[in-house]
Chain A
């Protein structure tokens, strides 16, 4: 077990290294420099000075090696776009907002998705099935910004029940949390529904019933555990994606998270910030995948950890 985790972490580091390398060369292939755009008015002297300061005149491989050396020691450099701001400080300030919102929407997605899926799997009433199928279709096809806008209009402007800006209290989490969770809810409810229906048709469910076990107990004790496996496979990467935020939702609700930085850093050619965000996102995904595999193995003994 420990050996397995160590092995997976080592592989994860190799993956991160590959990710960093590819991103480093790709982002420099984007046309333009950090000093184009609104900073075009800089005088040539200052620009040359800055370019020298950030080593932008050196060949790629030298800058790459220097970057890696610093990164290994935890120094991800300063932002090229914001004066004097350490990249790590920018992320450190934004990540708590983004991560807490992501965690909230993850919980909403799991709870609502599993409940809806279970209800749909058991109900024999067509209208319940229809409603769940409708929610699933809406969740998949309607973009989150549209849902967010509609919610803001209804609950924020018309009814005035929920605040629309920032993340100062628990009420602030509701609308962005739901907007982020809608897509995953649709996915999870469908996974749970088809999983449960599949498992309830299995022979071992018949055997469990023949022991005199009640129908609800059969589901909870036997079927649910087997039906939940595909959900866990989906939930790991989902969590990693949610806690790193969304550009659209964070911008709309004016949340000072890192979700917006992903897009802004690229438009600004803020090389150091792009690198740090990519590595953090990659690390989250890798950790989530390891956790997913460990949980799957804990639930299903047939999954072998090698």
Chain B
């Protein structure tokens, strides 16, 4: 299968008053064409920062180090450009056209003093030679595509006249404006009612099929991932701890953190099983642990877990996990 996006050895540090936060540490992953990839992890695990650095949306306080970042044949690694200007010129060309992002909070991501129509037309006018009239026509099409009733009247309204779910649909429409090859959805349903969540997820799924786009879905909800994704990356403490297909992650989870996440989901068919929260809190990324980031919360932690970062074990061609337990079982087998 063809790779649409390849990222190798990406690290992102933030300068803060307290010190340097190592938000993403040496992350590598890839995305195949037409695939839906889920990225799961709790708040502060670095999933959003990873995606923002791919889109080039991080501010000046972020320092990105990256071995390789390739999107559809274009080098989007900020480290391979001499000047910031050259990099942003490339990103300006890509963002909103071949790759686009769906954001988390429909209440704050739309400009409150700009009409919906103008906000929808902006990416179209940025990347095509359409006239304003044609762009407006396209905006109306997009609005019906994402299921907004009577777009002709709605297009001249302001965001405050829309409900949360409707605004999220507008944000999706903005992302879809130029039929992007890659859609990055950053917790698109977190701020929505449960009933609207399902609708929005179905919408993203249908449209990505229709446009043959690849999707990266960031979430902390394994339930969302299960219904949608082909492959899943589990992130913890700024690192990808396990990656696999949906079946591999759900039926044969390897990393203790993945197992912990799965035991936090309730199973309606088996109510005898108690939900088991993961005790403790995520590591402080100002001083990231030398060893496995999960060591302090792991039931099966060993001495070496604290001292050294675990190697990545290949469990199957698609299933990778970074845990010392795998090394242990391997050695016991020998």
Contacts and interface: CB of A to CB of B under 8 A. Distances in A.
Interface of A: 124, 202-204, 206-215, 221-222, 225-226, 299-302
15 contacts: A203-B109, A207-B110, A210-B101, A210-B103, A211-B96, A211-B100, A211-B177, A212-B97, A213-B96, A225-B114, A226-B112, A226-B113, A301-B113, A302-B112, A302-B113
Contacts of A215: 88
Nearest to B158: A301
Interface string B86-127: 001001111111001101010011111110000000110011
B109 A204 contact: yes
A239 B325 CA distance: 74
Interface residues of B, number: 32
A90 to B, nearest CB: 45
B57 interface: yes
Contacts of A221: 122
A210 B57 contact: yes
A212 to B, nearest CB: 4
Contacts of B101: 207, 210
A257 to B, nearest CB: 38
B103 A212 contact: no
Interface in B142-180: 158, 160, 171, 174-175, 177
B21 interface: no
B60 interface: yes
A209 B110 CA distance: 12
B55 interface: yes
9 cross-chain pairs, A with B, having the tightest CB-CB distances, nearest first:
A212-B96, A211-B96, A211-B123, A203-B108, A212-B95, A204-B111, A203-B109, A301-B158, A207-B109
Contacts of B60: 124
A108 B95 CA distance: 40
Interface string B21-42: 0000000000000000000000
A260 to B, nearest CB: 42
Contacts of B105: 203
B111 A206 contact: no
A207 B171 contact: yes
Contacts of A214: 88, 92
B126 A211 contact: yes
Given A203-B103, A209-B95, 10 more contacts: A207-B174, A211-B177, A212-B93, A212-B94, A212-B96, A221-B122, A301-B158, A301-B160, A302-B158, A302-B160
Contact of B111 (A124, A209, A212, A222): A222
A269 B272 CA distance: 92
Nearest to B56: A209
B167 to A, nearest CB: 11
B108 A210 contact: no
Given A207-B109, A207-B174, A212-B123, A222 B95 contact: no
Nearest to A215: B88
